[in-house]
Amino acid sequence: MHYALDQGVIMAESFNKKDGSQVVGGLVLVIQENKAYLSEIDGAIGDGDHGINMNKGFTMFADQVNLAEEDMGTALKKLGRILLTEIGGSMGPIYGTFFIEMSKVIKDADVVDAPTFGKMLRAAVVGLQALGDAKVGDKTMMDTLIPATAAFEAAEGSGFVAALDAMEAAAKKGWESTKALQAKVGRASRLGERSIGVLDAGATSTWLILESFAKSIRSVLSAS
Amino acid sequence: MQRFFNDPSKVVDEMVEGFLKCHTNIVEKTGNPRVVKSVFPTKGRVGIVTGGGSGHKPAFVGYVGKNMVDAVAIGEIFSSPTAKAFYDAFKAADGGKGVACLYGNYAGDNMNVKMAKDMAEDDGIRVLTVVANDDVPSAAKGEEAKRRGVAGEILMWKCGGAKAAKGGSLDEVIAAAQKAIDNTRSIGVGLTPCTIPEVGKPNFQIEPGKMELGIGHHGEPGIKVTDLKSADEVAKMMVDVVLPDLPFNSGDEAVVLVSGLGATPVMELYILFSKMNDLIQEKGIKVYRSYVGNYFTSLEMMGATLTVMKLDPELKELVDAECDCMGLTQF
């Protein structure tokens, strides 16, 4: 393991996969805390169930899985499996694929460093692109995920924390961009111009998830 | 909320329990609590499967029965069933001649059906699909593939189910169901919003004195909000959207289905139907068969949908076939 100096604090450049299970625990908390917010955003141009469904799946995972017995890979895989088999809606297959594809990258790894996490993000993008055909600008979660992944990859050479910072900034910008966009795919696309002026619910949950990844991983790195 | 429930997160499970207790002569439970099957065997013929979010009673479980749907995947309120539920429904409906999955065009259903189809095909069950897209206002003409499926799904199940009962092959059942939905057009009008018990408040608003033309079955906002008009004027607005789209022409024969969205009195549906029927006949279109009632609802929304299907000799025979399910009994 090698270390880098970040804002005067010595930060690790990788963490043990075992310690990464708490990163997955952080995702559960952020979804539970934002249940009402996500449903409210979804209600503006969707059917208002996004927060309920996400909370149901993530809470089911928290109830069934003891994170102390998991590593980041097994925890992500179990979270993805539960979303895929128990949640339904569009979010079940979408986030199920998202987390399962991420978990596959670290199946045989011991530590997670910046290039590894970059590959995990990229695997999620590729998996979702096989499932649907949403592109940047269609007012979906891809408006958050695609630029965030690209920003992380571009900043990998500057260190794990710098890459997480870049990912977080790009994710936020992408998420906020959905407000001015007109929906092209998914349920809101039938509204045409009436979808403009409201944030996309899926882009919002993806922003919350990526922000949580960034915060939790920075915390794990500072403790490594 | 002036509603009956115990735990708002358990309304679907408790509804399914009640449904199974009531309709013992038509449906039975399976190993998956979110899959209900018909008591009528599918051995030696094509099995019909559908599925979708809950809150649309009688759809979807209410169309499981004789000569209709053989197994249904049940989702949360307004949310697609899981891929596992669709897969288990395919297994429950499989009688060795393949499964026709006839469902509505929604992003979640499309993804979950696709995954379930892959899982079933690994088990050697052949599954083909027809995706209903009868809701005219949900996308422009020329972009029909983007349109939602609404009450026209009932006529798709009716025709597909009858074709399977007559011994049609999987390809023939799929062709009949596809023809049924290709010749069907619908529109909805909403007067009040609806509330998912677990959300606890309406997720959109329709001001008193207003109506929303083209509203979705899940309360997706409509295409246009206007002042609430008289029943005759509303009937005309709906007919004027539906008929030119296919188009339906003079000399055609058609099925007309008017469904309430949950809270509109059935009496008012007949007031709408009366004018719709006259307007359609005035165009020289013969109303061969008509249905008025709560066939495909949206919780306690007030409003109605109009569905019209153009007939040919085959569709006429399939529509006339007998069927027995909670949502539609015809002898």
> What radius of gyration do chain A's Cα atoms show?
17
pTM of the model: 0.86
Calpha distance A148→A116 (Å, rounded) = 15
Q: Indicate the range of A12-21, A41-50, A79-88, B253-262 predicted with least confidence.
A: A41-50
Q: Which chain B residue has the Cα nearest residue A91?
A: B108
Selected for mutation to probe chain A from B72, B110, B111, B206 (highest A CB count within 10 Å) is B111
Structure tokens at B12: 């679907």
The pLDDT, as a whole number, for residue A190 is 58
Inter-chain touch A92–B83, beta carbons under 8 Å: yes
So what's the pLDDT on residue A8? 58
Active site (annotated) includes residue B23:
no
Q: For residue B147, what pLDDT band results from cuts at 50, 70 and 90? A: very high
Q: How far off is chain A from B233, nearest CA to CA, in Å?
A: 24
CA dist list (Å): B92 to B50, B58, B162: 12, 20, 19
What percent of chain B stands above pLDDT 70? 100
- Give the integer Cα–Cα distance in Å for A18 and A216: 14
Kindly give the residue spans of alpha helices, DSSP state H, lying in chain A: 21-33, 35-45, 50-64, 72-82, 91-105, 114-131, 142-155, 160-177, 201-223
- Residue B190's φ and ψ, nearest 5 degrees, are -110, 140
pLDDT at A189: 65
pLDDT digits (tens, 9 = 90+) for B264-320: 999 999 999 999 999 999 999 999 999 999 999 999 999 999 999 999 999 999 999
Which domains, and CATH codes, for chain B? 8-183 (3.40.50.10440), 184-311 (3.30.1180.20)
* Residue B248 in contact with partner chain A when CB distance is under 8 A: no
Give the nearest chain A residue to B146 (CA atoms).
A190
CB B289 within 8 A of CB B319: yes
B117: left (phi over 0), alpha (psi -120 to 50) or beta: alpha
ipTM score here? 0.71
Residue in A43, A92, A93 nearest the CB of B204: A43
Q: What are phi and psi of A180, to 5 degrees?
A: -85, -5
Give the nearest partner residue to B138 out of A88, A89, A190, using CB atoms: A190
B116-120 contacts at long range (C-beta below 8 A, 24 or more positions apart)? B116/B73, B116/B83, B116/B84, B116/B85, B116/B86, B116/B87, B116/B89, B116/B90, B117/B86, B117/B90, B119/B83, B119/B87, B120/B87, B120/B90, B120/B91, B120/B94
Q: A-contacting residues of B 57-116, CB under 8 Å?
A: 75-85, 106-108, 111-112, 115
pLDDT at position A158 over 70: yes
Tell me the three-class secondary structure of A129-186, residue by residue. HHHCCCCCCCCCCHHHHHHHHHHHHHHHHHCHHHHHHHHHHHHHHHHHHHHHCCCCCC
Residue type, A80: G
Chain B residues lying within 8 Å of A142, measured CB to CB = none
| Partner-chain contact A84 B83, CB within 8 Å | yes
Q: In whole angstroms, what is the distance from residue B162 CA to residue B328 CA? A: 13
- For B78, nearest residue in chain A (alpha carbons): A47
Q: What mean pLDDT do residues A40-57 have?
A: 82
Contacts of B27 (CB under 8 A, 6+ apart): B19, B20, B36, B37, B38, B39, B61, B64, B65, B326
* Plot region of B297 (φ>0 → left; ψ -120 to 50 → alpha; else → beta): beta
- DSSP character for B72? E
Q: Is B41 helix (H, G, I), strand (E, B) or coil?
A: coil
Contact B9 A56 (CB under 8 A): yes
Paired strand residues for B182 = none
Contact list, A85 vs chain B (CB under 8 Å): 82-84
Q: Does B267 touch chain A (CB under 8 A)?
A: no
- What are the structural domains of chain A? 13-223 (1.25.40.340)
Cα atoms found within 13 Å of the Cα of residue B68, Cβ hemisphere only: 28
pLDDT at A187: 63
Q: What is the pLDDT of residues B152-205, one digit of tens each?
A: 999 999 999 999 999 999 999 999 999 999 999 999 999 999 998 988 888 778
| Torsion region of B105: left, alpha or beta (phi above 0 gives left; psi -120 to 50 gives alpha) | beta
pLDDT value of residue B99: 98
Catalytic position from the list B56, B91, B97, B310: B56
Tell me whether residues A187 and B218 touch, CB distance under 8 A: yes
pLDDT at residue A47 in the model: 67
Closest chain A residue by Cα to residue B205: A44
Which amino acid belongs to residue B93?
A: A
Look at residue A49 in the predicted model and tell me its pLDDT. Answer: 75
Q: Chain B residue with minimal CA distance to A41?
A: B203
Cα–Cα nearest to B14, from A91, A92, B3:
B3
Q: Which residues of A touch B197 (CB under 8 A)?
A: none
For residue B203, the chain A residues in CB contact (below 8 A) are: 39, 42-44, 46-48
Higher pLDDT, B105 or A192: B105
Sort out which chain A residues have CB atoms less than 8 A from B112's CB and list them. Answer: 88, 92-93
**Distance, C-alpha A161 to centroid of its chain:** 17
pLDDT in tens, B14-66: 999 999 999 999 999 999 999 999 999 999 999 999 999 999 999 999 999 99
| B89 vs A contacts (CB less than 8 Å) | none
B218 noted as active-site residue: yes
Distance CA B52, CA B73 (A): 7
Query: Looking at the predicted structure, is the pLDDT value of residue A7 above 60?
Result: no
